Amino acid sequence: MNMNSNKNEKGFSLVELLVVVIIIAIVAAIAIPNLLASRRAANEASAISALRTIHSAEITYFSTSGGNSDYGTMADLGTVGLIDGTLAAATTSAAAKSGYFYTASLIASTSDGYCTTATPASTTQGTRIFAVSTPGVIFTSAANGSSPPTCTAGVITGTTAIQ
């Protein structure tokens, strides 16, 4: 008697397994782009929030540590504890915070104001560039990163205000 001819064998056929794998691949192909878009949106929201924090820190620094005459660099703001160390160190794409790095510049005389820009470390991290200056209005580039904000003598131009 042949033991391998049992008609009650349980399991899946190769065709059934292939159908399941194909369905999983289709679902993944639909979900992954949406996941990446959500991540970019979250990084951009984080950058806007960080710029708000930096603006508040600059105003506080000016009226306290700056003696009503100086704004601070990112390092200055971190040293006095007005922003966290991660944000203070996020000045290069290698040290980006939530996919963005920040460039702060003081205007000619440090009492004239400041500008800070948030630039995505890569296009997978974010597509828009953001900036804030002394008045506290946050500006953004176009959705594809074109027309980035520029700061001249403390005035941001060439962009759209989002706040």
Q: Is the pLDDT of residue 163 over 70?
A: no
Residues in the chain: 163
Mean pLDDT of 62-79: 89
More confident residue, 67 or 133: 133
The domain ranges of the chain are 12-161
pTM over the 0.85 mark: no
* % the chain with pLDDT above 70: 92
Nearest to 92 by CA among 108, 113, 75: 75
Question: CA torsion sign, 152 to 159 to 148 to 69?
Answer: positive
Residue-level pLDDT at 2: 53
d(CA 11, CA 108): 76
More confident residue, 119 or 6: 119
Query: What pLDDT, in 10s, does the model give residues 89-103?
Result: 999 888 999 999 998
